[in-house]
Protein backbone atom coordinates (compact mmCIF):
# COMPACT_ATOMS: atom_id res chain seq x y z
CA UNK A 1 0.00 0.00 0.00
CA UNK A 2 1.35 3.40 -1.01
CA UNK A 3 1.70 5.91 1.78
CA UNK A 4 2.75 9.57 1.53
CA UNK A 5 3.51 11.47 4.73
CA UNK A 6 4.20 15.20 4.73
CA UNK A 7 6.19 17.04 7.37
CA UNK A 8 7.93 20.36 7.88
CA UNK A 9 4.96 22.69 8.06
CA UNK A 10 4.67 25.38 10.69
CA UNK A 11 4.22 29.07 11.39
CA UNK A 12 6.62 31.67 10.05
CA UNK A 13 6.71 35.39 9.47
CA UNK A 14 6.55 36.86 5.99
CA UNK A 15 9.90 36.60 4.27
CA UNK A 16 10.82 33.44 6.12
CA UNK A 17 11.54 29.95 4.79
CA UNK A 18 10.27 26.42 5.32
CA UNK A 19 11.20 23.10 3.75
CA UNK A 20 8.44 20.55 3.39
CA UNK A 21 9.20 16.86 3.06
CA UNK A 22 7.02 14.04 1.77
CA UNK A 23 8.18 10.54 2.62
CA UNK A 24 6.96 7.88 0.19
CA UNK A 25 6.62 4.23 1.13
CA UNK A 26 5.13 1.19 -0.56
CA UNK A 27 5.56 2.85 -3.97
CA UNK A 28 6.77 0.03 -6.20
CA UNK A 29 6.12 1.66 -9.55
CA UNK A 30 9.05 2.49 -11.77
CA UNK A 31 7.64 5.85 -12.85
CA UNK A 32 7.40 8.82 -10.50
CA UNK A 33 5.16 11.76 -11.31
CA UNK A 34 4.76 13.93 -8.25
CA UNK A 35 3.54 17.29 -7.09
CA UNK A 36 2.68 19.67 -4.29
CA UNK A 37 -0.87 21.01 -4.12
CA UNK A 38 -2.13 23.44 -1.51
CA UNK A 39 -5.51 24.49 -0.16
CA UNK A 40 -5.74 27.97 1.35
CA UNK A 41 -8.38 28.55 4.04
CA UNK A 42 -11.84 28.75 2.53
CA UNK A 43 -10.59 28.14 -1.01
CA UNK A 44 -10.14 25.25 -3.41
CA UNK A 45 -6.97 23.32 -4.09
CA UNK A 46 -4.30 24.87 -6.28
CA UNK A 47 -1.22 23.35 -7.80
CA UNK A 48 2.09 24.68 -6.55
CA UNK A 49 4.84 22.63 -8.17
CA UNK A 50 5.29 19.36 -9.98
CA UNK A 51 8.08 17.11 -11.17
CA UNK A 52 7.87 14.52 -13.92
CA UNK A 53 9.64 11.19 -14.24
CA UNK A 54 12.56 12.82 -16.07
CA UNK A 55 13.05 15.33 -13.28
CA UNK A 56 11.61 18.25 -15.22
CA UNK A 57 9.96 20.71 -12.85
CA UNK A 58 7.05 23.12 -13.23
CA UNK A 59 5.82 25.90 -10.96
CA UNK A 60 2.74 28.00 -10.52
CA UNK A 61 3.37 31.63 -11.46
CA UNK A 62 2.65 32.68 -7.88
CA UNK A 63 5.64 30.73 -6.51
CA UNK A 64 8.18 30.90 -9.33
CA UNK A 65 11.55 32.04 -8.10
CA UNK A 66 10.60 31.39 -4.47
CA UNK A 67 9.79 27.65 -4.27
CA UNK A 68 11.86 24.67 -5.41
CA UNK A 69 10.58 21.12 -5.81
CA UNK A 70 13.01 18.21 -5.74
CA UNK A 71 13.06 14.43 -5.40
CA UNK A 72 15.93 12.60 -3.75
CA UNK A 73 18.00 10.10 -5.72
CA UNK A 74 16.33 7.17 -4.01
CA UNK A 75 12.96 8.63 -5.02
CA UNK A 76 11.64 8.11 -1.51
CA UNK A 77 11.38 11.73 -0.41
CA UNK A 78 9.85 14.70 -2.21
CA UNK A 79 10.80 18.17 -1.04
CA UNK A 80 9.44 21.68 -1.38
CA UNK A 81 11.84 24.43 -0.38
CA UNK A 82 9.85 27.59 0.22
CA UNK A 83 11.66 30.92 0.49
CA UNK A 84 10.32 34.45 0.66
CA UNK A 85 7.05 33.25 2.14
CA UNK A 86 4.03 35.52 1.93
CA UNK A 87 0.74 35.51 3.88
CA UNK A 88 -0.96 34.30 0.67
CA UNK A 89 1.10 31.10 0.93
CA UNK A 90 -0.88 30.13 4.04
CA UNK A 91 -2.51 26.79 3.26
CA UNK A 92 -2.54 23.08 3.88
CA UNK A 93 0.11 21.58 1.62
CA UNK A 94 -0.40 18.12 0.16
CA UNK A 95 2.03 15.95 -1.75
CA UNK A 96 0.73 13.62 -4.42
CA UNK A 97 2.09 10.93 -6.72
CA UNK A 98 1.07 8.76 -9.63
CA UNK A 99 2.87 6.33 -11.93
CA UNK A 100 0.73 7.13 -14.97
CA UNK A 101 -0.80 10.61 -14.68
CA UNK A 102 2.16 12.82 -15.44
CA UNK A 103 1.08 16.34 -16.42
CA UNK A 104 3.07 18.95 -14.53
CA UNK A 105 1.69 21.71 -16.73
CA UNK A 106 -1.84 20.78 -15.71
CA UNK A 107 -0.88 20.70 -12.05
CA UNK A 108 0.51 24.23 -11.99
CA UNK A 109 -2.25 25.80 -14.07
CA UNK A 110 -5.20 24.79 -11.91
CA UNK A 111 -5.71 21.07 -12.42
CA UNK A 112 -7.59 18.79 -12.39
CA UNK A 113 -5.30 16.91 -10.02
CA UNK A 114 -5.59 13.30 -11.09
CA UNK A 115 -2.88 11.85 -8.85
CA UNK A 116 -3.83 8.46 -7.45
CA UNK A 117 -1.96 8.80 -4.17
CA UNK A 118 -2.12 11.68 -1.69
CA UNK A 119 -0.68 12.55 1.69
CA UNK A 120 -2.70 13.85 4.61
CA UNK A 121 -1.32 17.39 4.35
CA UNK A 122 0.78 19.70 6.47
CA UNK A 123 -0.23 23.19 7.61
CA UNK A 124 1.78 26.26 6.66
CA UNK A 125 0.85 29.61 8.24
CA UNK A 126 2.59 32.83 7.23
CA UNK A 127 1.97 35.96 9.26
CA UNK A 128 2.57 39.52 8.10
Tens-place pLDDT, residues 39-82: 999 999 999 999 999 999 999 999 999 999 999 999 999 999 99
Q: Is 110 helix (H, G, I), strand (E, B) or coil?
A: coil
Q: What is the average pLDDT score of the chain?
A: 96
pLDDT of residue 52: 93
* Upstream peptide bond of 123 is cis (omega within 30 degrees of 0): no
Neighbours of 66 (CB within 10 A): 15
Q: Report the alpha-carbon distance of residue 37 to residue 48 in Å, rounded.
A: 5
Amino acid sequence: QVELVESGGGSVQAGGSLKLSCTVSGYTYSRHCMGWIRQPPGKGREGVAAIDDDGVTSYADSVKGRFTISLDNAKTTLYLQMNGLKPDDTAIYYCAADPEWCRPGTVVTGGPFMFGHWGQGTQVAVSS
